[in-house]
A and B are shown apart, each in its own frame.
Chain A
Amino acid sequence: MSTNLLDVAVGSKRDDLVPTLLCAHCTQAVPPGYADTNANPAFCCAGCQTAYAILHEHGLARYYDFAERETTPVRASGRSFAEFDHPGFAEKYVQMQTGGLARTELYLEGVHCASCVWLIERVPLLINGVVRVELDVRRSRAAVEWTVGDTTLSAIARTLDQLGYAPHPFRGVTRDAMRVKEDRGMLTRIGIAGAIAINIMLAALALYSGEANHMDASMTQFFRWVSFALILPAFIWPGRVFFSGAVAALRTRSLHMDLPIALALAAGLVRGAINTITGIGPIYFDGLAILIFALLAGRYLQLRGQRFATDSSDAMKSIAPTSARVIADALHPLGFQDLPIEALLPEMIVEVRAGETFPADGIVVRGTSSINTAILTGESRLSASKVGDKVFAGTLNVAAPLHLRVERAGEETRIAQLLQQGEASARRRAPVVVLANRLAGVFVAIVVVAAIVTYVVKLQLNTAHALDDAIALLIVTCPCALALATPLTIATAVGRAANRGILIKGGDALELLATPQTLVLDKTGTITEGHTTLVSWSGPDWVKPLVLALEQGSSHPLADGFRRAWSDVAPAAVIECRHVMGGGIEGVVDGHDVVVGSPRFVRAHSSSAERTSASALVELEPALTPVHVAVDGLVVALAGMGDRVREDVGASLATLRAAGWRTVLLSGDANAVVHSVGLALGFDESEIVGEASPENKLAYVEQLQRSGRVVMVGDGVNDAAAIAAADVGIGVHGGAEACLGIADVYLTRPGLTPLVELTDAAHRTIRVIRRNIAFSIVYNVLGASLAIGGLLTPLVAAILMPASSLTVVFGAWHGFTFSRRRA
């Protein structure tokens, strides 16, 4: 066993090598560095050990009996979560209840299965004072109730964190409450409409069979009155939505599917009521009740699918940092205190460690570091910052801790302003009139004209049922199938897309993506990976372990790039190592003097500056940052560090262009970098735009919109306004949580392959919708001709209307929208 472990220690990550030592908590292999072979049970990390101890201490060892449970090591953040107890936090996220109880909703990371539900809902057993924890496993959200005074929210948060479920306050409670209310209302309406429809069907069955068997006239009339009594509440409660929709459409002079539906429903109700009272003629109530139910159900299904996308983007928003480490406010030092971001005030001094995002806009008062501003500017290279420099909330501190004097916090920060701008331009955007609604207008016109013509012509010919036939026409042409075709097909497509990591928040996005137009792409983070990687290496292999040895202990992103690229290289032993901020690293490795860093730094620190080996004398692309390596005074290697283009981008762009999309590269990064990347990827010289500020991006997209529809793909806050203004805004994997709220579509898989799938599927979805609409039009023409000819008996109408809807339902589920194979 020990030799096995030794192999792993050397750095090999081969899968065929299975160490026999498994972590008692997460069943992962115990890494060699941590292995205490005598320990029983053994753990892979401190996180797992803590979680295991907590569970055993409280008699919850039954957790380990679950066949399906968490198999990733517990990565507890170890934070104090002190900000969760701050009054500013409580005001925003905690609701006080009767009996000294407090309640909040937390978004938990890492929730995925039945064992998570079991464990999280047993937190009341772990902490005294917690009354109840209830988990919604699909949304990863836990409702927590505790007695104020017995325990604190921070204690609950720490325990959840130790168990491996990092808690975040759930942001968007108000919007969520609104959505829940809407969902419940819809569900209630469907339930009532369904119950009424089924019971009217029963009455209709009696009527139809009674007609064939010569049922007693008084009995017939009884069943007709029962149907009438049943349909009234169906119109008053669930059916009302169609009438209010139609009225709203008329008032705004826009087209909506509710218009022809309300027309047919009203015609049916009036005619049916008259026929019930007079005791002659068809009553139509069975068909109308089914219609209301089917339409409501179709819309609910569509909404359900889109809710999933909205829930996910809400969750992402919740992950944004909650606290800032405040050292001092304007008057006196505070020591280190975790305050919620909401409680930050100007003039406070805040510490931001390497790897953390800045909580507010401000001025650096201590330290030097490099900052990744890609989220705000799109710039892929790091910018250096020193005392006196301005930094912005949302950008990432990469290299070293900084102290910051807050200038603007909360809603006044640059990032918040950009997002507000994004939301404003989203509101300004004209609503899309989807295909179904456009058809509805044409439909209403044709049906009304046909009904009038039928009535007038038949009156001239002196036919007996002129009015009856005209009204039968209005009823039978109710665009039930037409109105179902779109929501059902979109519900299916959105559901299948979600399985493939494409979250679609609005059905109209699918329709807009179906025809190729202009596609505007952001560079950093969208078509490139968004972080520094080793792109080119010219130098001998034996240098690699030496470089890696020096980079091992550095938190600099360039070091990270080396480590990721050479994960299979074992670093050599370091004897001495010195980091020089803004330059590089020098040290003694394996008896050699090694210097790694910027060309200037290496020249200054190697003894004979002029000596450079041939392999290090290559030209680098302008997009790359050069890093020189000198060993014993000789420059032996040159590494090109940069933001690498994602692997699938070339092929994806080619597919999109072949499909007819015009591609534009729009980036905030330096012109030279953008051009070098853009030209390599086959963008037209005139369609590469660099150094675009967020405002420029917005203006550019709006200008493009004058000549056609624009789809904007981006990841950062600097794209937010443009994403919101575009006809379809798409956010990509790893992007700023904030821009997700604005995007219509969010791709959770990296790269552009999902974008290709999306446009392809949108195309197919629209084809299925068109096919379904064609079907329903055929039915309508058939029904209309029967009605005009006076041949439409109530029974034929009752069969024809649901039959057309069923065809559409079948067509929607079997329509080939998203390919069903999982990626």
Chain B
Amino acid sequence: MSVIYIVLPLALAIVMGAVGAFVWAARTGQMDDLDTPAVRMLHDDD
């Protein structure tokens, strides 16, 4: 079971990476408008 001492911190490090990415996304305004991008991707043709 001692593998848990390595795996668990590793898992937490990954979570921290994900949280960091989310915080970055929220702070750069990527969550400000949740409606338009959904529409825009439908006609990204050029």
In the bound complex, do residue B26 and residue A191 qualify as a contact, i.e. CB atoms below 8 Å apart?
yes
Chain B residues lying within 8 Å of A175, measured Cβ to Cβ, are none
In the bound complex, do residue B36 and residue A135 qualify as a contact, i.e. CB atoms below 8 Å apart?
yes
**When each residue 129-150 of chain A gets 1 if its CB lies under 8 Å from chain B and 0 otherwise, what string results?**
0000011111100000000000
Give the Cβ gap from B27 to chain A, nearest Cβ, in Å.
6
In the bound complex, do residue A188 and residue B40 qualify as a contact, i.e. CB atoms below 8 Å apart?
no
Q: Verify if B10 is at the interface (C-beta below 8 Å from A).
A: no
Q: Bound state CA distance, A62 and B18, in angstroms?
A: 40
In the bound complex, do residue B40 and residue A117 qualify as a contact, i.e. CB atoms below 8 Å apart?
yes
Q: Bound state CA distance, A187 and B33, in angstroms?
A: 13
In the bound complex, do residue B19 and residue A137 qualify as a contact, i.e. CB atoms below 8 Å apart?
no
Q: Bound state CA distance, A353 and B5, in angstroms?
A: 80
Q: Verify if A29 is at the interface (C-beta below 8 Å from B).
A: no
Given contacts A183-B32, A191-B23, whether A121 and B18 have CB atoms under 8 Å apart is: no
**When each residue 11-33 of chain B gets 1 if its CB lies under 8 Å from chain A and 0 otherwise, what string results?**
11001001100110011010111
Q: Bound state CA distance, A134 and B29, in angstroms?
A: 13
* Interface residues in B27-46 (C-beta closer than 8 Å to A): 27, 29, 31-33, 35-36, 39-40, 42-43, 45
In the bound complex, do residue B15 and residue A199 qualify as a contact, i.e. CB atoms below 8 Å apart?
yes
Q: Verify if A114 is at the interface (C-beta below 8 Å from B).
A: yes
Q: Bound state CA distance, A216 and B4, in angstroms?
A: 13
Q: Verify if B1 is at the interface (C-beta below 8 Å from A).
A: yes
Give the Cβ gap from B9 to chain A, nearest Cβ, in Å.
9
From B11, B23, B39, give the contact of A117 (CB < 8 A): B39
Q: Bound state CA distance, A195 and B40, in angstroms?
A: 30
Question: A interface, how many residues as a size bin?
Answer: 20 to 34
Chain A residues lying within 8 Å of B4, measured Cβ to Cβ, are 219, 222
Chain A residues lying within 8 Å of B39, measured Cβ to Cβ, are 113-114, 117, 137
Chain B residues lying within 8 Å of A118, measured Cβ to Cβ, are 43
Chain A residues lying within 8 Å of B12, measured Cβ to Cβ, are 199, 226, 230
Question: In chain A, what residue has the closest Cβ to B9?
Answer: A226
Give the Cβ gap from B20 to chain A, nearest Cβ, in Å.
10
In the bound complex, do residue B26 and residue A138 qualify as a contact, i.e. CB atoms below 8 Å apart?
no
Q: Verify if B8 is at the interface (C-beta below 8 Å from A).
A: yes
Q: Bound state CA distance, A114 and B45, in angstroms?
A: 14
Q: Bound state CA distance, A118 and B45, in angstroms?
A: 10
Question: B interface, how many residues as a size bin?
Answer: 20 to 34
Chain B residues lying within 8 Å of A187, measured Cβ to Cβ, are 26, 31
Give the Cβ gap from B31 to chain A, nearest Cβ, in Å.
6
Give the Cβ gap from A818 to chain B, nearest Cβ, in Å.
22
Q: Bound state CA distance, A117 and B44, in angstroms?
A: 11
Q: Bound state CA distance, A138 and B33, in angstroms?
A: 8
**When each residue 167-190 of chain A gets 1 if its CB lies under 8 Å from chain B and 0 otherwise, what string results?**
000000000000010011001100
Q: Bound state CA distance, A121 and B40, in angstroms?
A: 9
Chain A residues lying within 8 Å of B33, measured Cβ to Cβ, are 136-139
In the bound complex, do residue B1 and residue A219 qualify as a contact, i.e. CB atoms below 8 Å apart?
yes
Most buried by A among B5, B18, B39, B45: B39
Q: Bound state CA distance, A191 and B30, in angstroms?
A: 14
Q: Verify if A6 is at the interface (C-beta below 8 Å from B).
A: no
In the bound complex, do residue B36 and residue A136 qualify as a contact, i.e. CB atoms below 8 Å apart?
yes
In the bound complex, do residue A138 and residue B35 qualify as a contact, i.e. CB atoms below 8 Å apart?
yes
Q: Bound state CA distance, A388 and B22, in angstroms?
A: 64
Chain B residues lying within 8 Å of A230, measured Cβ to Cβ, are 12
In the bound complex, do residue B23 and residue A137 qualify as a contact, i.e. CB atoms below 8 Å apart?
no
In the bound complex, do residue A195 and residue B26 qualify as a contact, i.e. CB atoms below 8 Å apart?
no
Question: In chain B, what residue has the closest Cβ to A122?
Answer: B46
Given contacts A118-B43, A226-B8, whether A216 and B1 have CB atoms under 8 Å apart is: yes
From A113, A188, A216, give the contact of B27 (CB < 8 A): A188
Give the Cβ gap from A132 to chain B, nearest Cβ, in Å.
13
From A184, A195, A219, give the contact of B32 (CB < 8 A): A184
Q: Bound state CA distance, A184 and B25, in angstroms?
A: 9
Given contacts A117-B40, A219-B1, whether A188 and B35 have CB atoms under 8 Å apart is: no
Give the Cβ gap from B40 to chain A, nearest Cβ, in Å.
6
Given contacts A118-B43, A192-B19, A195-B19, whether A180 and B29 have CB atoms under 8 Å apart is: yes
In the bound complex, do residue B31 and residue A184 qualify as a contact, i.e. CB atoms below 8 Å apart?
yes
In the bound complex, do residue A184 and residue B26 qualify as a contact, i.e. CB atoms below 8 Å apart?
yes
In the bound complex, do residue B5 and residue A114 qualify as a contact, i.e. CB atoms below 8 Å apart?
no
Residues on B facing A (Cβ under 8 Å): 1, 4-5, 8, 11-12, 15, 18-19, 22-23, 26-27, 29, 31-33, 35-36, 39-40, 42-43, 45
Known: A184-B27, A219-B4. 19 other contacts (CB 8 A): A114-B42, A114-B43, A117-B36, A117-B40, A118-B43, A135-B36, A136-B32, A136-B36, A138-B35, A180-B29, A184-B32, A188-B26, A188-B27, A191-B22, A191-B26, A192-B22, A192-B23, A199-B12, A199-B15
Residues on A facing B (Cβ under 8 Å): 62, 113-114, 117-118, 121, 134-139, 180, 183-184, 187-188, 191-192, 195, 199, 216, 219, 222, 226, 230
Which 9 A-B pairs rank lowest in CB-CB distance, beginning with the nearest? A191-B22, A138-B35, A114-B39, A136-B33, A187-B26, A137-B36, A188-B26, A195-B19, A118-B43
